[in-house]
């Protein structure tokens, strides 16, 4: 078999050592793992001091639309983290003046988290950098290839997500 990439080389070695195994999942999932590493680097570069978790919180607020405000519970759902983790993240983002927290006028026990102007600028700049980096990662794929890949990955992630509920 023609070895196109590192995964082909690894699978060929496993086939030689363990011809009894069905190694077909490695062709897909090992490539996804390798792509994820490249994506992590691209995101780290795009987010700079913001870090992945900070971008996730600010992006959830930005996607909510004006007034860029959500409850901590909504943010927990959007970012899939625990209450304690969210509190820590909000504390850190508030120290950086990227968000504010205030009492929820509709719920005396609740609070609302709002993006500041600095937060909007930070998340917008990070998003622009991220898209530029991600476009570069996909540069060798045609538009049709990207559409097909997106559809296949959607099928796969939908299955994973439905099994994690």
What is the DSSP code string of 130-162?
A: HHHHHHHHTTTS-HHHHHHHHHHHHHHHHHHHH
Q: Cis peptide before 67, with omega less than 30 degrees from 0?
A: yes
pTM, two decimal places: 0.81
Q: What are the CA-CA distances from residue 59 to residues 28, 62, 161 (Å)?
A: 29, 5, 21
How many CB atoms within 10 Å of residue 134? Answer: 15
Q: pLDDT category, 106, cuts 50, 70, 90? A: confident
User: What's residue 50's pLDDT?
Assistant: 87
Question: For the chain, which residues make up each domain, given as ranges?
Answer: 50-121
Q: pLDDT category, 30, cuts 50, 70, 90? A: very high
Instruction: Name the CATH architecture for the domain at 50-121.
Output: Orthogonal Bundle (1.10)
């Amino acid at each position: 078999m023609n070895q196109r990439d590192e995964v082909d080389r690894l699978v060929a070695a496993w086939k030689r050592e363990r011809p009894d195994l069905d190694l077909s999942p490695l062709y897909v999932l090992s490539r996804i793992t390798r792509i994820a590493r490249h994506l992590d680097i691209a995101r780290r570069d795009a987010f700079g001091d913001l870090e992945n978790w900070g971008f996730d919180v600010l992006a959830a607020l930005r996607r909510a639309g004006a007034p860029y405000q959500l409850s901590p519970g909504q943010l927990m759902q959007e970012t899939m983290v625990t209450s304690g983790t969210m509190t820590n993240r909000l504390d850190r983002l508030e120290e950086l003046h990227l968000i504010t927290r205030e009492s929820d006028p509709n719920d005396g026990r609740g609070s609302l988290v709002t993006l500041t102007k600095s937060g909007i600028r930070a998340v917008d700049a990070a998003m622009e950098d991220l898209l530029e980096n991600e476009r570069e990662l996909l540069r060798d794929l045609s538009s049709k290839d990207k559409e097909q890949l997106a559809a296949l990955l959607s099928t796969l992630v939908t299955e994973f997500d439905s099994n994690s509920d």
